Structure 1
Amino acid sequence: MTEFSSLFVVSVISVLAPLLAYVIPKRIIPETVLLVVMGMLAGPYVLGFIELSDSIKLLTELGLAFLFLLAGYEIEVKELKGKRGKAALIGWLATFAIAFTMALIIPNTSGYIEQFALAIAFSATALGTLIPILKERGLIKTNVGLDVLAHGTFGELGPILAMALLLSVRSPWETVLILALFFAVSIVMAIIPVKARAAGSKLVELIHLKSETTAQTTVRVTVMVMVSLVLLAYVFDLDVVLGAFAAGFIIRIANPAGREELEQKLDGLAFGFLIPLFFITSGASINVGAVLEAPFALILVVFGLLAARAVPVYFSTYFTEDAESYTSRDRLTVALYSTTSLPIIVAVTHVATETGTMGPRVASILIAGGALSVLLMPLLASISYKAADAHPIDRMSERLRRFRSSRPVQNTNAAKRKIRKR
């Protein structure tokens, strides 16, 4: 009965959050932030309305899997092969180097596993969280939006691979071998539907034919692929986000042009309940007392994200597509959006706390910092966009020029004669 009570509270919050986000003036607070904050208030550390039982945790894992499934589905391979993708890759590598350097100088870390976990957390971008925000603001098809998607792709793919390689308790060669096997199976699963579609397979036609009936075959096939790769990741002792992300990528390869009806159904299934549940329970897992005891640490997390992620992304935009047409506004907007992070932070803190290399206090502060980045970074990006449009420096220069030109010009010789008479 406790599980259904918790689910009832989760369902109420999932309804209230978007309504509150809509009525707040200028919609400055994203729905995701409200889900996390309301989950934190309803969680076991404050009001105790939500109990994080094993059943709730299983649904949370499923919500996390769907979030990364949709993130993997949004990847445009052709965009990653060009200058935009190369710039984003260089930006992420620089980010990870800065983040790891920062992790090395942080005092009281419990070893290299926690240092790697901190570096991964500071190098992440919440692509799945950003996509709805970019769509709402009409940026998704612009150069700025495409750059954010490219940086977001590597900001999720890079940390996912780093988690598998650096947070594993196995030896390095065993980890590499297991990853190679996982990717080999994933490649085979990606090739099969492409070959079947090219051969005009009757099975593929039947799947699409039954997709609009009660069978909902395309949705069921997508879920089957996701669960299969998540299970494979679990068998190989990898994180579920790697399997879910690979599943989304495979589904996109099978439908390179996309299928609007499938996307709508997946959005309804994922954003209707499972993804909100993930964010709510992520908030419920935050130890509010630990965060309030160390507000300075929370501020450091936000500034750490800016230093490690925003700065390299800003400079990497000088090497992207149409870089010569970019303004400082565009570069700053891409950098701030790319600093938005939360799901990877939740995932990496989960792995680190499960292995006992990170305490719940540090994990709570990191998750709270990630939630704060979801609030601040899109807001700052919006403000910087408008402020840059106003050209404040140019306006100040113009006012100064007008002031100087309006001052009366004294006749130097007349002034000298006045001085002599005195």
Structure 2
Amino acid sequence: MAHPGTLVLILAAAVLAPLLVHFTGRRVRVPLVIFEIALGILIGPHVLGWAYPDEVVDTLADLGLSMLIFLAGYEIEFAAVRGDTLRRSLWAWPLSLALGIGLGFLVSGSDVFEAFVVGTALTSTALGTVLPMLRDRGELKGRFGTVVSAFGAVGEFGPVVAMALLLSGRRPAESAVLLAAFGVVTAAAVFWALRPRPPWFGELTERTLHSSGQFAVRFVMLLLACMLGLAEVFGLDVLLGAFAAGVLTRLVLHQAAPTAGEEVLGKVEAMGFGFLVPLFYVVTGIEFDLDALLGDPVTLLLVPAFLLLYLLVRGGPVYLLAPKDLSRTDRAALALFASTCLPLVVAITTIGVDQGILGTERAASLVGAAMISVLVLPLLAMRLRSARGGRAGRDEPRPRGAADDTEAW
């Protein structure tokens, strides 16, 4: 049964969060998501006890996470993210996974399943959190933004695939077959999305853009629902469907309504970042087990340890395999952005706890470290970028002989 006033309190926290960002921005730049989670913890059962999770709120929070991953999938420009950069990003993530699972065995005391959960959590990148920061600074479309998009996309898609294979409760071989079948269906959907749309599609999109019809927005929501349902039919994590839906939506809109596509996306973003996504983050704070984190000194000490592991496991391979045309400063900034994580850490640890693989104390340490990563690592990365000219340096000419990302993948 829903707790009275919980949804009102969550939405009030979502409104208060950007106000806090505005008023504290003159002294220190704190990411919006930190205030959203912190306010969730404050009003949650472990502090003030005003808000409690319930079935309705949990459902809306799940939709918020799906929307966050959907928007991350939409942000990927495959015309720019390919060639040498894509190859390097594809090599970096399996290296991170192998390193993460190896360290997961040490952390878990050689428990195989817990090692998989911890190791997979250590490899994720919060692309949906990082890209808006780069977009706000005007760096998303430049060379550095393209590289971050490539490594971030693999860092978001890789853990989702790993969850489908390793944490589905089935044998890996069976999961691999289902994942391959999902991939075939998704590839067919991509082929469909690339086909020219009939003229009426674009005309109807334009005609209803500012009316109650909102054809394109409704079509995008239908596409998202279909991909979420398809992933569930195949027994895979719905986040995989959300990411695929974002990719498909970009292809369809750019093919059928190139002039109205950005405005349609703006409406979808308003629905996501204005309602569903902040609700997910506030609920994450409400459900955060603060007592488990603060009640055990070992659990608390694991927070900085996991933060270092995020940097080592995810940031290390990214730094080593970053494109050669990036300077050392930009490679370090790229590693910091790639090590920024949270949404998938929450999703992975939630699955681990629900399946009895991961204890709540270990989950609290992982999520706590991920929260600090969102607060600290992007700020350090942006400071490194600003120190070397930031946006002025994003379109620097490449050194002679640097790999060209326009080559075929």
By the TM > 0.5 criterion, same fold? yes
Shift of 1:141: 1.9
Q: Deviations over 1:201-223 (max 9, x none)?
A: 53554344333321111111111
1:313 to 306, 315, 318: 318
Counterpart in the other structure of 2:211: 213
Q: Deviations over 1:367-391 (max 9, x none)?
A: 111111000101111333345669x
Moved more, 336-345 or 43-52: 43-52
2:234 to 223, 233, 236: 236
Counterpart in the other structure of 1:260: 262
Unaligned runs of 5+ in 1: 391-422
Aligned residues: 382
Q: Distance in 1 between matches of 2:221 and 2:158?
A: 24
Q: Tell me, what secondary structure is at the counterpart of 1:106?
A: helix
Moved more, 278-287 or 2-11: 2-11
Q: Distance in 1 between matches of 2:142 and 2:268?
A: 24
Q: Tell me, what secondary structure is at the counterpart of 2:213?
A: coil
Q: Does 1:118 align with 2:121?
A: no
Please tell me the residue identity of whatever aligns with 1:81.
R
Would the aligned equivalents of 2:81 and 2:146 in 1 still touch at CA under 8 Å?
Answer: no
Q: Distance in 1 between matches of 2:118 and 2:278?
A: 25
Please tell me the residue identity of whatever aligns with 2:100.
A
Counterpart in the other structure of 1:270: 272
Counterpart in the other structure of 2:43: 42
Q: Distance in 2 between matches of 1:189 and 1:102?
A: 38
Counterpart in the other structure of 2:308: 303
Would the aligned equivalents of 1:353 and 1:363 in 2 still touch at CA under 8 Å?
Answer: yes
1:249 to 239, 247, 250: 247
Consecutive aligned runs of 4 or more in structure 1 exceeding 4 Å deviation: 1-4, 386-390
Moved more, 358-367 or 147-156: 358-367
Q: Distance in 2 between matches of 1:243 and 1:3?
A: 31
Relative to the length of structure 1, the TM-score reads 0.86
Q: Tell me, what secondary structure is at the counterpart of 1:212?
A: coil
Counterpart in the other structure of 2:397: none
Relative to the length of structure 2, the TM-score reads 0.88
Q: Distance in 2 between matches of 1:117 and 1:79?
A: 32
Q: Distance in 1 between matches of 2:331 and 2:39?
A: 33
Counterpart in the other structure of 1:145: 145
Q: What does residue range 100-119 of structure 1 map to in structure 2 within 5 Å? A: 100-108=101-109, 111-119=111-119
Please tell me the residue identity of whatever aligns with 2:114.
E
Q: Tell me, what secondary structure is at the counterpart of 2:49?
A: coil
Would the aligned equivalents of 2:125 and 2:341 in 1 still touch at CA under 8 Å?
Answer: yes
Q: Tell me, what secondary structure is at the counterpart of 1:92?
A: helix
Q: Distance in 1 between matches of 2:254 and 2:161?
A: 24
Would the aligned equivalents of 1:79 and 1:85 in 2 still touch at CA under 8 Å?
Answer: no
Please tell me the residue identity of whatever aligns with 2:58.
K
Q: Tell me, what secondary structure is at the counterpart of 2:139?
A: coil
Shift of 1:179: 1.2
The 1:260–1:4 alpha-carbon spacing in structure 2 relative to 1, beyond 3 Å, is farther
Would the aligned equivalents of 1:285 and 1:364 in 2 still touch at CA under 8 Å?
Answer: no
* Bigger CA radius of gyration: 1
Q: Distance in 1 between matches of 2:365 and 2:301?
A: 10
The 1:222–1:365 alpha-carbon spacing in structure 2 relative to 1, beyond 3 Å, is same
The alignment-based identity, stated in percent, is 34
Shift of 1:172: 2.4
Would the aligned equivalents of 1:60 and 1:281 in 2 still touch at CA under 8 Å?
Answer: yes
Q: Distance in 1 between matches of 2:176 and 2:185?
A: 14
Q: Distance in 2 between matches of 1:267 and 1:155?
A: 22
Counterpart in the other structure of 1:405: none
Q: Distance in 2 between matches of 1:89 and 1:22?
A: 37
Q: Distance in 1 between matches of 2:277 and 2:108?
A: 35
Q: Deviations over 1:174-205 (max 9, x none)?
A: 212211222222233333343351xx353554
Please tell me the residue identity of whatever aligns with 1:295.
L
Q: Distance in 2 between matches of 1:358 and 1:159?
A: 17
Q: Tell me, what secondary structure is at the counterpart of 2:212?
A: coil
Q: Tell me, what secondary structure is at the counterpart of 1:238?
A: coil
Shift of 1:288: 0.9
The 1:389–1:231 alpha-carbon spacing in structure 2 relative to 1, beyond 3 Å, is closer
Q: Distance in 1 between matches of 2:113 and 2:80?
A: 33
Would the aligned equivalents of 1:230 and 1:243 in 2 still touch at CA under 8 Å?
Answer: yes
Q: Distance in 2 between matches of 1:217 and 1:272?
A: 20
